[in-house]
């Protein structure tokens, strides 16, 4: 099944056999959605809880928005409709129609069928499309994927914006952009002219990407995700072309979609289709704006490569990474003299020539590193004078000129292996001496 999914659904099959997403989608489409709780219910236990899926070795059950579930509330079991399933907390947000209120329950506390009525067929109580597993087709698989992605926070997908990858090429940018567009772009003027289902199909690749990412986040980045989810306000945005209406309740949004977009006669046929036409949006308390920025599609690269954002980042990254790399450089050889010299030399260092002021950060980081004093060789001087000024900053930062404020290690007073053993007993030298490195045996 996984194979089918991987090959059929995902254009770029990146899901390995053990891919969590593969497993989830698999379950979502075949068990989680079409056959939740009804499959493998061989022990005949009534009042199946969603969590019982773990009995089948499935640890994550996907409850999709609109799915009918049962929970205990006010001392009795009440039917409700899933609004949101938070995989991270394993918490389900449920709307209880009877009480007209929203509740949050742990997944374990959610029933997929009423506990009353022991012989109640599980599958009959579950509000699922009446289709067999064999009839799982593209639509259903895609639906599973879309629903899965809908139920997860778009914030999860947006971290890319936080740390733009300078090396990302056009392809990457495009993919990410379409992703962002999917989540939050205003459909008022930038929506595709295609009909919504087509639009949905068009988006599928991006959903794939997003899904991939968010699964990674969900499974491997839980703390961060949880932290974020708790601090955001949830709203729902209508994805219908030229609509973009935002409502705070999922029920209201569904009603909006049904009445305004789907129409009454389509209501039956598209029982759950309204799920496809809205998306959750999150408003962070700290950043009161829609998570994924929503630039005009005409200038997609503007967001990422805008000089204001990534550029300041670069120096800071450099200034953070450069020292460590310098440290690494200077300590990479185990035979080298230990750091005592370091503190001494740090104090001796002087700033780099003013010519390099644009690269202040690079030099500052470099300053911290040098261990020794070193004068400029003719060749180096020439390089510095001729090629350096015309060298683009990023190249310079990649391979900065040797810092000539550096100190070359003062020649030690101690005798070295060469002197002690003589060149004829080279095999008795310490390794460092043999390699023409700083003597390890006779430290200064």
Partner DNA sequence: GGTGCCGGGGT
Partner DNA sequence: ACCCCGGCACC
Strand-pair partners of 96: 101
Residue 366 interacts with DNA (CB under 7 A)?
Answer: no
Q: What's the order of all strands across the beta sheet hosting 91-96?
A: 68-73, 76-86, 91-96, 101-106
Tokens of 323: 């020292």
Residue 368 interacts with DNA (CB under 7 A)?
Answer: no
Among 330, 361, 383, 388, binds DNA (CB under 7 A): 330
Interhelix angle 310-331/360-368, rounded to 10 degrees, is 20
Give how far Cα 9 sits from Cα of 2, 136, 182, 196, 199, Å. Answer: 10, 12, 19, 19, 16
Q: Closest approach of Cβ 335 to DNA, in Å?
A: 8
Among 107, 218, 250, 438, binds DNA (CB under 7 A): 438
* Closer residue to DNA in complex, CB, 142/345: 345
Q: Closest approach of Cβ 167 to DNA, in Å?
A: 22
Residue 332 interacts with DNA (CB under 7 A)?
Answer: yes
Judged by CB under 7 A, the chain residues 229 through 268 that form the site for DNA are none
Q: x/- site string to DNA, residues 80 to 99, per CB under 7 A?
A: --------------------
Q: Closest approach of Cβ 441 to DNA, in Å?
A: 9
Residue 347 interacts with DNA (CB under 7 A)?
Answer: no
Residue 167 interacts with DNA (CB under 7 A)?
Answer: no
Residue 309 interacts with DNA (CB under 7 A)?
Answer: no
Neighbours of 99 (CB within 10 A): 12
What is the 8-class DSSP label of residue 73? Answer: E
Scanning 226-234, 276-284, 384-392, 409-417 for contacts with DNA by CB under 7 A, the matching segment is: 409-417
Q: Of 172, 171, 169, 242, give the one whose Cα is nearest residue 213.
A: 172
User: 3-class DSSP state for residue 280?
Assistant: strand
Among 374, 383, 388, 393, binds DNA (CB under 7 A): 374
Residue 373 interacts with DNA (CB under 7 A)?
Answer: yes
Strand bridging mode 232-238 / 278-284: antiparallel
In angstroms, the CA 20 to CA 297 distance is 33
Residue 336 interacts with DNA (CB under 7 A)?
Answer: yes
Residue 410 interacts with DNA (CB under 7 A)?
Answer: yes
From the CA atom positions of the chain, what is the Rg in Å?
31
For CA atoms 248, 254, 259, 260, the dihedral sign is positive
Among 329, 348, 360, 395, binds DNA (CB under 7 A): 329
For CA atoms 152, 155, 158, 159, the dihedral sign is negative
Residue 425 interacts with DNA (CB under 7 A)?
Answer: no
* Closer residue to DNA in complex, CB, 256/416: 416
Among 97, 316, 324, 377, binds DNA (CB under 7 A): 377
In angstroms, the CA 222 to CA 220 distance is 6
- Please list the alpha-helical segments (H only) found in 221-265: 222-230, 250-256
Determine whether 102 is exposed, middle or buried from the number of CB atoms within 10 Å of its CB (0-12, 13-18, 19+). middle
In angstroms, the CA 388 to CA 38 distance is 70
Residue 444 interacts with DNA (CB under 7 A)?
Answer: yes
* Closer residue to DNA in complex, CB, 55/410: 410
User: 3-class DSSP state for residue 373?
Assistant: strand
Residue 346 interacts with DNA (CB under 7 A)?
Answer: no
Tokens of 43: 């022990």
Scanning 232-240, 297-305, 349-357, 367-375 for contacts with DNA by CB under 7 A, the matching segment is: 367-375
Q: Which run of H or E residues covers position 94?
A: strand 91-96
Scanning 46-54, 58-66, 175-183, 333-341 for contacts with DNA by CB under 7 A, the matching segment is: 333-341
- Please list the alpha-helical segments (H only) found in 32-169: 122-125, 138-150, 154-157, 159-162
Residue 408 interacts with DNA (CB under 7 A)?
Answer: yes
* Closer residue to DNA in complex, CB, 5/341: 341
Scanning 125-133, 232-240, 292-300, 400-408 for contacts with DNA by CB under 7 A, the matching segment is: 400-408
* Closer residue to DNA in complex, CB, 66/400: 400
Among 119, 162, 378, 392, binds DNA (CB under 7 A): 378
* Closer residue to DNA in complex, CB, 104/374: 374
Count of residues that bind DNA according to CB under 7 A? 38
* Closer residue to DNA in complex, CB, 199/396: 396
User: 3-class DSSP state for residue 264?
Assistant: coil
In angstroms, the CA 128 to CA 440 distance is 73
Give how far Cα 11 sits from Cα of 142, 227, 296, Å. Answer: 12, 33, 27
Q: Closest approach of Cβ 319 to DNA, in Å?
A: 20
Binding site for DNA (CB under 7 A): 329-330, 332-334, 336-337, 372-379, 402, 406, 408-412, 415-419, 423, 431-439, 444
């Amino acid at each position: 099944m996984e194979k089918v999914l991987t090959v059929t659904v995902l254009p770029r099959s990146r899901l390995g056999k053990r891919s969590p997403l593969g497993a989830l989608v698999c379950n979502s489409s075949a068990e989680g959605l079409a056959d939740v709780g009804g499959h493998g219910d061989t022990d005949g236990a009534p009042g199946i809880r969603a969590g019982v899926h773990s009995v089948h070795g499935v640890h994550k059950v996907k409850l999709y928005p609109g799915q009918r579930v049962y929970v205990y509330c006010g001392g009795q079991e009440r039917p409700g409709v899933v609004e949101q399933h938070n995989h991270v907390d394993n918490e389900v947000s449920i709307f209880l129609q009877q009480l007209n209120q929203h509740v949050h329950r742990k997944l374990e506390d959610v029933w997929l069928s009423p506990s009353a009525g022991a012989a109640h067929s599980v599958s009959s109580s579950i509000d699922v499309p009446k289709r067999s597993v064999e009839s799982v087709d593209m639509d259903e698989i895609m639906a599973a994927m879309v629903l899965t992605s809908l139920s997860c926070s778009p914030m999860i997908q947006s971290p890319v914006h936080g740390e733009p990858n300078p090396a990302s090429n056009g392809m990457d940018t495009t993919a990410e952009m379409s992703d962002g567009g999917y989540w939050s772009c205003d459909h008022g003027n930038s929506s595709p002219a295609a009909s919504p289902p087509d639009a949905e199909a068009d988006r599928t690749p991006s959903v794939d990407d997003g899904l991939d990412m968010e699964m990674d986040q969900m499974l491997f980045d839980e703390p961060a995700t949880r932290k974020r989810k708790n601090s955001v306000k949830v709203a729902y945005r209508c994805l219908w072309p030229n609509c973009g209406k935002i409502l705070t309740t999922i029920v209201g949004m569904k009603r909006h979609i049904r009445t305004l977009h789907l129409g009454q006669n389509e209501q039956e046929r598209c029982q759950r289709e309204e799920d496809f036409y809205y998306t959750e949006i999150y408003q962070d308390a700290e950043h009161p704006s829609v998570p994924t920025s929503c630039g005009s599609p005409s200038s997609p690269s503007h967001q990422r490569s805008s000089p204001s954002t990534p550029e300041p980042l670069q120096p800071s990254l450099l200034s953070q990474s450069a020292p460590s790399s310098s440290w690494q450089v200077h300590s990479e050889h185990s035979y080298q003299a230990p750091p005592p010299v370091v503190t001494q030399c740090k104090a001796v260092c002087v700033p780099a020539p003013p010519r390099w002021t644009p690269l202040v950060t690079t030099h500052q980081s470099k300053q911290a590193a040098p261990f020794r004093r070193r004068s400029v060789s003719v060749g180096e001087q020439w390089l510095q004078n001729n090629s350096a000024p015309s060298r683009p900053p990023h190249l310079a930062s990649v391979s900065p000129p040797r810092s000539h404020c550096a100190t070359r290690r003062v020649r030690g007073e101690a005798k070295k292996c060469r002197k002690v053993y003589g060149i004829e007993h080279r095999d008795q030298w310490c390794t460092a001496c043999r390699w023409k490195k700083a003597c390890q045996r006779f430290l200064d």
